[in-house]
Amino acid sequence: MTDTKQSHPNDPLHGLTLEKIVTHLMESYGWEALGQHIRIKCFTTNPSVQSSLKFLRKTPWARTKVEDFYKYSLRHKKLK
């Protein structure tokens, strides 16, 4: 059995679920700031993890935006 860090060293999303990504972003930024960074209605109007997951799983372009912002936030935190 190989370690996931060794098999995919350049993929920060490997092994993460969409739920973990959304929860991490929500805890780090809060819904209001998250809605400002990623202009998606599921983050600005009556947001919840479950409703966001439902929308993001059906909408590939929105999921890509969230994943890209997650990767950006990881790079940004490493620089601080």
Residue-wise pLDDT tens digits, 47-70? 999 999 999 999 999 999 999 999
CATH class of 16-79: mainly alpha
Collapsing DSSP to helix, strand or coil, 11 comes out as coil
Residue-wise pLDDT tens digits, 2-53? 444 456 667 888 889 999 999 999 999 999 999 999 999 999 999 999 999 9
Which residue is associated with the tokens 């997951």? 53
Task: Read off the tokens for 50.
Answer: 């479950």
Q: Please state, in angstroms and rounded to a whole number, the distance separating the CA atoms of residues 26 and 5.
A: 25
Query: What's the pTM value of the predicted model, to 2 decimals?
Result: 0.81
Percent of the chain with pLDDT over 70: 85
Domain range annotation of the chain = 16-79
